[in-house]
Structure 1
Amino acid sequence: MIDRHAGTFPSRFLRADGQRTVTANERVVLSLLSRRGAASRAELARVTGLAPHSVGRLIEPLIERGLVIEGAPEIAGRGKPGAPLRLNPEAAFSAGVSVMTDAITLALVDLAGTVRAHVSAPLDCDDFNAGARQIAAMIDGAVAEAGLDPTRRLGTGVGVTGYFIGDGARLNPPAALDSWALRPLDTLLADALGGPVWVDNDGNVAAVGEAMLGAGRACPDFAYLYFAAGFGGGVVARGAPLRGASGNAGEFGSVLPEGWYQPNLENLRRHLAEHGIAFDGLRTMLRDVDLSAPAVEAWLIRCTPSLNLVVSAIFAALDPAMIVLGGRLPPALAERMIERILVTNPARRGHHRPVPRLIPSTIGSDAAAIGAAMLPTRAAFFQ
C-alpha cells in the first residue's frame, strides 16, 4: 500500500520504544473494537483465536494508555459476566480535509469514529498558500468549537481531486485547482498545518471512509464510485484500500472511451443549464436542485450507458461483493441510478455469475472528508 505522508506522530501516541504507536496484535484488537463497537475479552479471544490470557496481556497496556475503556460487567447468557471494552473517543482525533474544485470540507473524527465537527466553505483556490492557510484556520476553529484538546490530534488526512503522476504526493487536478497541481502536497501541507499529513485522491479517501465507518464495515470487498465535479472512485479489498502501483486504482472515469458521456455532477449542472435551470456552482446546485425535475430524469437517461459500462467493467475485473455510489451524489439520485443500471452478465448452462449489490453510500456527501480523517487513525492504530 502506498503511504504518502509527511511528518511523525506526536510523541504522546508512541509506545515506550518511541517507534510504534501500537504493535501488530494490538492493531488487530483495536480494529475489531472499531468494527464491533464493543466486545468483552472472551469475545475478542473467540474472534481472534488468541488465548484469553493473551488477550488480557494485549488489553491492559491499551487501557493504561487510555486507548481502550472498560465498562461495567454485563450479563450475557451463562457464565461470568463480561465487561465491555470500547475505544476511548477522547484518546485521539484526526482532521480530514476534502479539497474540491469549488469548496473545502473539513471533518474532525475521534478514535471511536464519531464525527465531532464538520465545516464546509468555498475554497480560495487561486493561490495554494492562501488555501493552506484557510485550511489551517478551519482546523483550529473547528477544534476549539468542538472543545477538543489540540495535543490529541494525530494528524491530518487530505483528499484532493485529481490523479497521481507517479512522483510522491504530486497530484494532477482539474484546471480549477491549478495552484495545487504537481506540488509535493504532503510536505507543503505538513509545514502549513503542523503534524503529519496524509495525502490521497478524493475517491480513495471516500472509499476508506466507507470501509471504516459505512457499509464497508460489514463488507470487506467493494468498489466505490465517486461522483463530484469529476467521476472516479476507489477499491477496497479485504478491508484495505487497493491503490495500485501509482495510487490511481479506482479511476473509473478512464474506463469510458473518448466521446462517451462522463456521469459527473458538473455535467449535471451543465445539463440543467441547457434546460433553463442555472446554478452558479455545484454547492448551490446540490443545495437547491429539485431532483424530481424532468431535466434530472433526462440526465439519468443520458448517464445510463456510461454507468452500465463502468459497473460491468468493475464486475468483470474485480468481482466485488458490493458497489457503492457516493461522493457528493445525493442518496435519492443514487437510488434512481441504481434502478437503471444493467450489468453485462450472460448466462451459461442456466447460471449467471454472482453480481455485486449496488447501494448508495451510507456516509453521504462528507465521505471524502471523513475518509481523509481516518487515514492518520488507520496508520496509527488499525490494520
Structure 2
Amino acid sequence: MIHGYAGEFPPAFLREDGRRTATDNERVVMTLLHRTGDASRADLARATGLTAQSITRLVDPLIGRGLLVEGAPEIAGRGKPSAKLRLVADAAFAVGLSVMTDTVSLVVMDLAGTIRGRVEAPLVSVDFARANEQIASLIDHAVAEAGLNPARRIGTGVGVTGYFIGDGARLNPPAQLDPWALIPLDTMLAERLGGPVWVDNDGNVAAVGEAMLGAGRTTGDFAYLYFAAGFGGGVIAGGVPMRGSHGNAGEFASTLPESWPQPNLDNLRLYLAVHGHPYDDLHAMLAGFDPGDPLIDGWLDECAPSFNLIASVISAALDPDLIVLGGRLPPVLAERIIARIRFTNPERRGHHRPAPRITPSVIGPDAAAIGAAMLPLRAAFFG
C-alpha cells in the first residue's frame, strides 16, 4: 500500500465503470510496455502466458482510451508482419516533488516514463502555506514548459524527509521543517495542489527512483542510503519497495547508538565550519565545496564506524545484491565513503558470507523526485 494518499483520479482516466484506471490484467500489459518500450501482441502473449484473444480483449480498450497506440506492421524475420504497441507518452503524466529542509526538487514524468521537465529551487519558506504557493507555481511553470495538457495530470507524488508516526500521512521531519510535522500532509497538499496526492518519505521514493532508472535496471534487490540534511534510506526487494508495517523500512539512521555520529551532509557542513570553511546552509555547501578536499578525511574518519555498522546490518539482515549511496551525496564523496567501508563478516571454514557490492547512485539528486512521480503512475496504471 502507498502511504499517504488523498484525492480522486480525474474522470478522463477512469474506465467505463467509473471506478478504476486499469484492471489487474491491463496493468500487467502496461507494465510490460513501460519496461520494454514497445511490443507486439504476440510478444505480450508470450510474456504473460495469456492467449492472443485475451491480449486483444485487453489491448483494444486501452487503445480506445488513448493509452496505447499500435504502429504499422513490421517484418521481423520469417512469418507474418507484426505491429508494435507502445504507451502514448502524452496520455497522462505525473509530478514528483522532493521537499527538503532547504530545497524543493520537481520532475514532470509522462506515461512512458520520460522526464519532461526538471526544476530545483531553494525553499522560500518552511511555512506550509507559503511553501505550497511556491510549489504550485513551480508545477504550473514546469507543466507549461513541458507542453503538456494540465488536465492530463494523473496526480502528484511528494517525498518529504522524516519518518511516519503510524497515523496516515503524518510525518515527523527534522526541526527545520517543523510546520510540516504531524499533520495530514496528503489531504492538506491536495487542497492546494489539486488532484490526487501521494506522500512518502524521501528515502522510500528515492529508492523507487533508483529502481526505475538506476540500480534497478540490473538488480531487484538493493538497499538505498539517502544522504541529505538527515540520513535515511529505502529497500527494494524483488523489484518493489519494502515499506514495513508503518512505512519506515530503511530508516537506517536509527540503527546507530545515540552517541555515534550521524553521517549526514548537514553534519559535514558543521564539520567544515569548525575547520574554517563555513557555509550558510546545505544548498550553499553543495554548490561551493570540493567533495575531494583532503580536509574531509577527518569527517570520514569520524563517521567510519557508523558507515561500517550500517553496511554490516544491511548485509546481515537484508542480504541485498547492492548498497547504493545516493540522495544529495556527490559521487566523488560517495566513492571516498565506499573506499572506507568494512563489513563485519568473519570467516568460517575458509568462507565469508557473501556481501553486497556498494556503488554511488547514477541518478543524482533527482532520485527522490523521480520516485515520487512514479507513485501516481504506479497507482493508476502499473503493477
Alpha-carbon displacement from aligned partner over 1:35-85 (angstroms, at most 9, x marks no partner): 222222222222222223322322222222221222344444443343332
Note the 1:146-295 alignment, pairs <5 A.
146-295=146-295
The one-letter code sitting in structure 2 at the alignment partner of 1:178 is D
Could you report, residue by residue, the CA deviation over 1:3-56 in whole angstroms, capped at 9, with x for unpaired residues?
421001101011111111001011111112222222222222222222233223
Aligned CA RMSD, in angstroms, stands at 1.6
Runs of 4+ in 1 over 4 A off after TM superposition: none
Q: Give the whole-Å Cα distance in 2 for the aligned partners of 1:356 and 1:213.
A: 20
In the alignment, the residues of structure 2 paired with residue 218 and residue 157 of structure 1 have an alpha-carbon distance, to the nearest angstrom, of 25
What corresponds to 2:326 in structure 1?
Answer: 326
Structure 1 spans left out of the alignment, 5+ residues: none
- The 8 Å contact of residues 210 and 363 in structure 2, kept in 1 or not, is answered as yes
Could you tell me which residue of structure 2 aligns to residue 128 of structure 1?
128
Q: Distance in 1 between matches of 2:341 and 2:168?
A: 37
Q: Which runs of 5+ in 2 are unaligned?
A: none
Contact preservation (8 Å) 1:125, 1:179? no
Q: How many pairs were matched up? A: 383
Measured in 1, the distance between the counterparts of 2:233 and 2:347 equals 29
Stretch of structure 1 that moved more, 341-350 or 181-190: 341-350
1:18-167 equivalences under 5 Å are: 18-167=18-167
Over the matched positions of the two proteins, sequence identity in percent amounts to 68
Q: 1:81 to 1:308 in 2, by over 3 A?
A: farther
Distance 2:146 2:67 in 1: 20
Decide whether aligned partners of structure 1 residues 352 and 93 sit closer, same or farther in structure 2, where only a CA change above 3 A counts: same
* Contact in 1 for aligned 2:2/2:198 (Cα 8 Å): no
Task: Give the alignment's TM-score, normalised by structure 1.
Answer: 0.96
Do the aligned residues in 1 keep the contact of 2:4 with 2:185 (CA within 8 Å)?
no
Report 1:355-370 matches (<5 A).
355-370=355-370
| One-letter amino acid of the structure 1 residue matched with residue 268 of structure 2 | L
The alpha carbon displacement at 1:331 in A equals: 1.8
The Cα offsets for residues 218-271 of structure 1, whole Å up to 9 and x where unpaired, read as: 322211110000000011122221111111111000011111111111111111
Contact 1:73 1:83 in 2 (8 A): yes
Q: Deviations over 1:170-216 (max 9, x none)?
A: 11111111111111111111101111100111101111111223221
Decide whether the 8 Å contact of 1:125 with 1:176 is kept in 2: no
Equivalents in 1 of 2:296, 2:61: separation in Å? 55
TM-score by length of 2: 0.96
Residue 111 of structure 1 deviates from its aligned partner by 0.9
User: How big is the shift at 1:302?
Assistant: 2.6
Offset of 1:104 from its aligned partner? 0.9
Partners of 1:340 and 1:42 lie apart in 2 by: 50
Change (3 A) 1:226 1:13: same
